[in-house]
Amino acid sequence: MATPVYTAVDILKLLPHRFPFMLVDRVDELHKPESESRVGRKIRATKNVTFNEPFFPGHFPHRPVMPGVLQIEAMAQCAALAVAEPGGAKLDVAIAGVNDARFRRPVVPGDTLSLEAEVIKDRSGILVIKCTAKVEGQVACEAEVIAKVFALEGSAL
C-alpha cells in the first residue's frame, strides 16, 4: 500500500469531526489542479467499517447495515478534505444539500468504503461535489453534495 496523503492524525487537524462522527480513516489520493477555482479537485479516501461502529447495535440487531445518511456524511467529509489546505485558512464546510442520492448495495461490518469526490462547480463559496462510495469496486452509494465553504473566525477565505 502506498503512503497515504493524509493519515487519521492529519485528518483530525483538518476536520472538526471526532468520534463517533469521524468517518474517514485516510486519504489515499488527492489531485488539486493549479487554478483559483476548486473545480477539478479530486480525492480518494478510505473508511474501514468495523463491527464496533456505534450505530450497528441499533441499525439493525438482526442484520447490521451502515445507515445511508452516514454513508453520505462520509462522502461529504471526503469532499471537505479535497478543499482543505493544510497550513492554510481554517475552513468549515457544511452540507447545504444532497441531490440524486442512490444506495446500490448495503454496507456491512468488514467492508472497506472507497470514497471518491470531485468538485464539479465552485460558485461564491458554494461547491457542488460528485461523490461515490464503493465496496470492492461496486458502487454502494452515490450522490451530488452541495456544500457551503466558509472561513472560521479569524481566518480569511
Tens of pLDDT, residues 49-88: 999 999 999 999 999 999 999 999 999 999 999 999 888 8
What beta strand segments (E) does the chain contain?
A: 26-31, 42-48, 91-103, 112-123, 126-135, 138-151
Nearest one of 119, 116, 132 to 41, comparing CA atoms: 119
Hey, what domains does the chain have and what are their CATH numbers?
8-151 (3.10.129.10)
Q: Which of 17, 31, 59, 62 is catalytic?
A: 59
Give catalytic status of residue 59 as yes or no.
yes
pLDDT at 139: 98
Tens of pLDDT, residues 82-131: 999 888 877 888 999 999 999 999 999 999 999 999 999 999 889 999 99
Burial call 50-68: b when 16+ CB within 10 Å, e when fewer: eeebeebeeeeeeebebeb
